[in-house]
Structure 1
Amino acid sequence: MRPARLTVLTAAAVAAALTAVTGCAEKGGSADGKAVKVAASDTACEVSQTEFPAGKVTIEVENKGSKVTELYVLFPDDRIVTERENIGPGTKATITAEIKAGDYEIACKPGMKGDGIRQKVKATGNGTAEKRSPELDAAVAGYREYVQEQADETLPAAKAFADAVKAGDLEAAKKAYAPSRIGWERTEPVAESFGDIDPKVDVREDGLEAGQDPAKDWTGWHRLEKALWADGKIGDEEKKLADQLITDLTDWQKKVGQAEITPTSIANGAKELLDEVATGKVTGEEERYSHTDLVDFKANVEGAQKAYELLKPVAAKNDAELAKQLDTQFAALNTLLDKYRADKNTYEFTSYDKVGETERKELSDGVNALAEPLSKLAAAVAK
């Protein structure tokens, strides 16, 4: 879950680094060749077209406000079609997505909080983009299999964590905590597309909505993380929370197969995973009590790399230079991460509170170097 505030860089600084690159010339557009333009501010979300042709759609967002914002295209039931987070004040972002015919809402979320300022829109026409190539069909099938596999593998790992909590074994619960999150972190954009699940299992205390009571409304991994590391105790409430975590993750496991997955959603999801790293892991916000941020960091990168590898046959054909850049930057970031673990075959990383400011800056630079070309992947596969 992306945190609302940052400790190493300001939200605006991180957002600017991440989103300035997305305003570049990404190819693609709506079926009539015109992008849907969104002017976001602290009080408005102005959409240039409330109706546009279904298919491959380009959305150009400009944040004219003073707060970092997010842009979502939502189904009527609030499932996410596509999104772009961390759009800093004065910056622009371009999103390429496949949108079927139907009714939707575009939501701007100034401050990255709440339900956002919403505008109803409609995609019209035959409801789909042109027929996909066999390579893209294979990428979608492969990614669908991957996210289901990650959900299936997460559940037993989470049960091991929950069992340790319910047994009152503090040290065993601490040891099982980070491994239980790997599958979720690899596929978080898909998990977040089911809007009701992510707030239950992965929200930080400062990510709760206005009016929510942490004592009653805060559930999931990070509530338990605080109990284990900050409070150093396991009580009856924590044991109930462990059971609730398994219930919610089981719900996620069952819903994963229903997710809307397209080539552009896979590509945009890879970029979102890098945003996750930049705004939560590099800053130390995500795992502020356990300091297991580098485990999440690695899982996010792995998920992004899997998405890219599935799309690479088409991306390399359409933009060979982009594929070359992505190969180079993924390799560089993985090499950098390997500095923080003794064995490349394990997920035992250095505790993040032991990573100094200089090293964190190096990690941040590595993430930004990958995020720049990765922001162009959706447009490359949509050509």
Structure 2
Amino acid sequence: MHTRRPLIIAAAVATAAFTLTGCVPNAGTGEAAALTVDSGADSCAVSADTAASGPITFTVTNSGDQVTEFYVLAENKLSIVGEVENIAPGASRDLTLVAQPGEYFTVCKPGMVGAGIGTTPFTVTGESVEANADDAEAEDAAVASYTAYVKSQAAELLPQVQEFVDAYVAGEDAEAKRLFPLARVSYERIEPTAEQFGDLDPSIDYRKPGAEAEGLPFTGFHRIEMDLWLDAAAENYPDEKIVALTPAERATLGEQLVTDITSLYDLVHSDDFTLSLSDITNGAIGLLDEIAAPDGKLPGEENEFAHTDLYDFTANVEGAQVAYEAVRDIAAAKGDEGAELTKTLDTQFAAMLELLATYGDYEGGFVDYSTVDQNARNELGAQLNALSEPLSQLTHTVLGVSAA
């Protein structure tokens, strides 16, 4: 992937000041570069696509007819390094950042759901800005950055799931099969957060054996998967009578999934939703554990009927990387041990994603996982281990405690 240093957030909104990598008194003394952003109904126009390192203020004006948000994203288009939200039609708000050199993206999100519009490259030139780390501010910034990411992924998830369910309920099975793995990507990136909310994850994402073992109704993504890939389901469960769901049963199942995803969206956007540093670091570790588990992606058990496990595998790694990058500079500041750990993790995340990319991508599709032979799975497993082992040290390095 990349080894760019992230933007340092000096103020994510007009009234809240925090930093991503510590205090930056040397950077904050100069006058901020002033850029304007017009967030329209179907456009996101930034007055320039480059700026010098140091303070930058984006004045975001909402010329559309819906409440909007504006984001500055990292080079991976996933990590949020600055955001201002709840901009009413006709209103303006400022986002002030202290920026390090590197490649970024700007994007607006009218309605505050979906993937956003007008994603545009943004380059910061010049020299690195020296930062004097302040632990409390750096920690607050890491939590704020990752919390914004979770909210953004939940906002993207909702329309993706609705589109998938609409196709499924309408009996458009070929389209529903195409959308199934794509509708899961944002969920798989933030699954540890969903798991904090009691029965929500079981309702959304439990597989058949897990639901039955806990005496829970079999609902959610995998119940729909089973109905769409009925022949594979019959083959996997030869002792059971597997029959297609009726249109009414499809409608009920689809409605339940949309309701559950809406609940997830509402929960992470509520005023009392909070995350901690340990939630972030342990969440990163947990995402890789999801891959390697006996019923996970690496053994090919996650999507046992559709064999779309490589989509989920990649999404888990991406989510873990975003969580890691939120706390990366905190870890790197922890002496030689932290510096060596972050160097290793940078390398191993890049290697893992590079290997996964040999099997496809979201846009063009990943190969059917049932066609990936054991030698290839062993190679994936070896690289996953090379990443998981150092990542397991992240909580200890950042917080001085062992991973939960």
- Please classify the TM superposition score into its range, dividing by the shorter chain length: 0.5 to 0.7
Question: What is residue 197 of structure 1 aligned with on the other side?
Answer: 200
Relative to structure 1, is the Cα distance of residues 228 and 162 closer, same or farther in structure 2, using a 3 angstrom cutoff? same
1:155 positional shift: 0.5
- Structure 1 stretches lacking a partner, 5+ long: 1-130
Distance in 1 of aligned mates of 2:286 and 2:213: 25
Work out the CA distance in 2 between the residues paired with 1:169 and 1:345.
21
Amino acid at match of 1:226: M
1:196 offset after TM fit, Å? 1.5
Higher alpha-carbon Rg: 2
CA distance in 1, matches of 2:342, 2:279: 18
Q: Which residue of 2 aligns with 1:367?
A: 384
Separation (CA, whole Å) in 2 of partners of 1:243 and 1:336: 37
Say which SS state the counterpart of residue 281 (structure 1) adopts. coil
- Match 1:274 to one of 272, 283, 288: 288
Contiguous gaps of at least 5 residues in structure 2: 1-133, 233-243
* Distance change (3 Å), C-alpha of 1:333 and 1:245: same
Given that residues 212 and 218 in structure 2 are in contact (C-alpha distance below 8 angstroms), is that contact kept between their aligned partners in structure 1?
Answer: no
1:289 aligns with 2:305: yes
What SS does the corresponding residue of 1:324 show, helix, strand or coil?
helix
- 3-state DSSP of counterpart to 1:208: helix
Report the Cα distance in structure 2 between the residues aligned to 1:290 and 1:267, rounded to whole angstroms.
31
| TM-score, normalised with respect to structure 1 | 0.62
Q: Residue deviations 1:105-158, cap 9 Å, x none?
A: xxxxxxxxxxxxxxxxxxxxxxxxxx9521111110011000010001001000
Deviation at 1:375, TM superposition (A): 0.5
In the TM superposition, 1:1-383 aligns within 5 A as 132-208=135-211, 210=213, 212=215, 217-231=217-231, 233=244, 235=246, 236-257=248-269, 258-279=272-293, 280-318=296-334, 319-341=338-360, 344=361, 346=363, 348-383=365-400
Deviations 1:151-203 (A, max 9, x none): 01001000001000111111011011111111110000001011120111100
Question: Match for 1:265: what amino acid?
Answer: D
The CA deviation at 1:378 is 0.8
In 2, Cα distance between the equivalents of 1:187 and 1:163?
23
In the aligned structure 2, how far is the partner of 1:259 from the partner of 1:222? 27
CA distance in 2, matches of 1:143, 1:329: 21
CA contact (8 A) 2:284 2:320 kept: yes
SS at match of 2:227: helix
Shift of 1:259: 3.9
CA distance in 1, matches of 2:195, 2:215: 20
Quote the Cα distance in structure 2 between the aligned partners of 1:274 and 1:374. 9
Between the aligned residues of both structures, percent identity stands at 46
CA distance in 2, matches of 1:196, 1:259: 17
**SS, match of residue 229 in structure 2:** helix
SS in 1 for 2:366: coil
Give the Cα separation in 2 of the matches to 1:210 and 1:301.
Answer: 28
CA distance in 2, matches of 1:138, 1:376: 21
Which stretches of structure 1, 4 residues or longer, exceed 3 Å deviation after superposition? Answer: 231-234, 257-260
Q: Report the AA paired with residue 226 of structure 2.
A: K
Residues 293 and 352, structure 1, Cα contact 8 Å, conserved in 2: yes
Question: How far apart are residue 346 of structure 1 and its match?
Answer: 2.4
Secondary structure of the equivalent of 1:298?
helix
Deviation at 1:260, TM superposition (A): 3.6
1:360, CA displacement in angstroms?
0.5
Whole-angstrom distance in 1 between the partners of 2:303 and 2:198:
21
SS in 2 for 1:346: coil
Give secondary structure in 1 for the equivalent of 2:395.
helix
Q: How many residues align?
A: 248
Amino acid aligned to 1:357 = Q
User: CA shift at 1:231, angstroms?
Assistant: 4.8
| Greater relative CO, 1 or 2 (CA 8 Å, sep 6+) | 1
- SS of 2:365 mapped into structure 1: coil
Measure, in 1, the Cα distance between the counterparts of 2:399 and 2:214.
Answer: 41
